């Protein structure tokens, strides 16, 4: 067994670590079962703002993994938590999926398309010129621009699709204002994850598949990092970065070997 398994808890990225598209990766079931049997604390962290924890739990269930909704933390939830800490009782204009709106309501942040404190954007398929125009006029009138995550593209079964960073760019350009992004690599997201499982950073390992979002945010949060090569990063790309993960594994399947 790998020494990192002595940690009390684990924060795991999702895509590229536990599944790819709709396919669960090798050894994931065994690893998740091992965490549960050994009373490890764990949370799955995703930069996607499209699904609620309950929907993510159902997605895993369809792949044969039973993980309850309280084990998921999304950039939509991190954004709502950030805004409620910054300005309790603030209002927002949201461009995003229902999960993002729900995360806002859960933190008592309400919708306002007249004079909101913030314009918030997450991945969505309901993106149109009318909404961009609205967002631009609200930001020009003083609303602060917030992105759930800075990813410019996402990888789906259909190929590359624009993600939040790309969708928010027209609003940034037309207003001259730069968005603030809450999701990874912002270490805020990991710190919220830590709070959620009630562990100290030294007692945790973060498992991710991206150097520029996962590994850097782990390093900046003083959390031991595990890069798995089952996602977007190939082994020979690691040396392109000025920082390195503590451990490199082929996938979570190597943890229990």
Look at residue 173 and give its three-state secondary structure. helix
Closest separation between CB of residue 233 and Mg ion, Å?
9
Give the nearer residue to Mg ion in terms of CB position, either 101 or 230: 230
Q: x/- string (CB under 5 A) for Mg ion, residues 193-212?
A: ----------------x---
Active site (annotated) includes residue 15: yes
What's CA 91's distance to the chain center, in Å? 22
In terms of CB distance, is 12 or 92 closer to Mg ion? 12
Residue 50 to residue 97: CA distance in whole angstroms: 6
Give me the residue label for tokens 């090798």.
26
Contacts with Mg ion: how many residues (CB under 5 A)?
4
Q: Stretches 13-21, 54-62, 116-124, 166-174: which one binds Mg ion (CB under 5 A)?
A: 13-21
- Give whichever of 74 and 101 is closer to Mg ion, judged by the CB atom: 74
> How many whole angstroms separate alpha carbon 105 and alpha carbon 100?
9
How far is residue 231's CA from residue 18's CA, in Å, rounded to a whole number? Answer: 9
Say if residues 67 and 36 touch (Cβ distance below 8 Å): no
Residue 139: half-sphere exposure toward Cβ, Cα within 13 Å = 26
Residue 55 or 172 having the CB closest to Mg ion: 55
Interface residue with Mg ion among 7, 13, 67, 135 (CB under 5 A) is 13
50 interacts with Mg ion by CB under 5 A? no
CA-wise closest residue to 11 among 182, 181, 223? 223
| Among residues 7, 11, 12, 15, the one that binds Mg ion under rule CB under 5 A | 15
CA atoms 6, 218, 21, 68: torsion sign: positive
Choices 8-16, 109-117, 167-175, 193-201 (CB under 5 A): range interacting with Mg ion: 8-16
What residues are annotated to the active site?
13, 15
- Residues lying near Mg ion in the complex (CB under 5 A) are found at 13, 15-16, 209
């Amino acid at each position: 067994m790998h020494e990192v398994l002595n940690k009390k808890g684990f924060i795991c990225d999702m895509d590229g670590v536990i599944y790819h598209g709709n396919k669960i990766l090798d050894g994931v079931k065994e690893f998740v079962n091992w965490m549960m049997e050994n009373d490890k604390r764990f949370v799955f962290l995703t930069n996607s703002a499209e699904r609620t924890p309950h929907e993510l739990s159902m997605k895993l269930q369809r792949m044969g993994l039973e993980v309850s909704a309280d084990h998921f933390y999304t950039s939509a939830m991190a954004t709502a938590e950030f805004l409620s800490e910054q300005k309790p009782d603030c209002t927002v204009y949201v461009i995003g999926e229902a999960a993002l709106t729900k995360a806002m309501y859960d933190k008592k942040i309400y919708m306002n398309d007249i004079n909101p404190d913030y314009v918030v954007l997450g991945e969505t398929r309901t993106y149109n010129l009318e909404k961009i125009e609205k967002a631009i006029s609200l930001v020009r009138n003083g609303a602060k621009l917030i992105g759930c995550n800075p990813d410019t593209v996402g990888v789906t079964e259909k190929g590359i699709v624009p993600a939040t960073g790309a969708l928010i760019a027209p609003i940034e350009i037309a207003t001259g204002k730069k968005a603030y992004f809450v999701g990874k690599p912002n270490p805020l997201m990991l710190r919220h994850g830590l709070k959620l499982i009630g562990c100290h950073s030294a007692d945790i390992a973060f498992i991710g598949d991206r150097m520029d979002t996962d590994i850097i945010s782990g390093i900046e949060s003083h959390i031991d990092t595990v890069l798995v090569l089952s996602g977007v990063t190939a082994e020979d790309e690691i040396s392109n970065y000025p920082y390195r993960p503590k451990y490199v594994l082929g996938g979570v399947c190597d943890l229990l070997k």
